[in-house]
Amino acid sequence: MKVELYVDGKRIPLNKFVQSILRDVNLAMISNLKGVEGWKVVEVRIERSSESSEK
């Protein structure tokens, strides 16, 4: 299973430990969603709000 992280289009290198954590946490969440079966690719996108109070 391939795990990659991109921030603002730049690929961030991940060691095997971090890949494993990202994979396991995301798969645990996805496996509990109704209607999600037989997937091939999962993409998670997080965009920072323009509000200055958000970190």
pTM as predicted = 0.72
**Cα gap 22→38, rounded to integer Å:** 19
Element (H, E) at 40: none
Kindly state the tokens that stand for 18: 């971090």
Q: What is the pLDDT along the chain (55 residues), one digit of tens a residue?
A: 899 999 999 999 999 999 999 999 999 999 899 988 888 999 889 899 887 555 5
**31 CB-side CA count, 13 A:** 6
Helices (H), the chain: 16-31
**What would the pLDDT profile of 3-16 be if each residue is shown by its tens digit?**
999 999 999 999 99
